[in-house]
Amino acid sequence: MLTEQQTELLALANMKMPFGKYKGYFLVDIPEPYYVWYNSKGFPENKLGKQLQLMYEIKLNGLESLIRPLVKR
């Protein structure tokens, strides 16, 4: 049985961007400058915003290699 954190991490790894230039891309596949832009403008105040902010921190710290194996392509 997965913990809440494990479930959230799997959801993050398999979340696709629902709109914009990167619509359909897995969040981990979106380039870091996109997250830097969001960080400067402000992340949305919803679940997606929280996921984008977490992915920003993951990319900023070079931890994408921990997320990529969880993606179901």
Q: Kindly tell me if the per-residue pLDDT of 73 is higher than 90.
A: no
Alpha helices in 14-62 (DSSP H): 32-41, 47-60
Tell me, what's the pLDDT at 49?
97
Q: What is the pLDDT of residues 1-40, one digit of tens each?
A: 999 999 999 999 999 999 999 999 999 999 999 999 999 9
Q: Rounded mean pLDDT of 44-63?
A: 97
Q: What CA–CA distance (Å, rounded) separates 69 from 14?
A: 10
Tell me, what's the pLDDT at 12?
97
Q: What CA–CA distance (Å, rounded) separates 25 from 30?
A: 7
Q: pTM for this one?
A: 0.91
Can you give the residue ranges of every domain in the chain?
A: 4-70
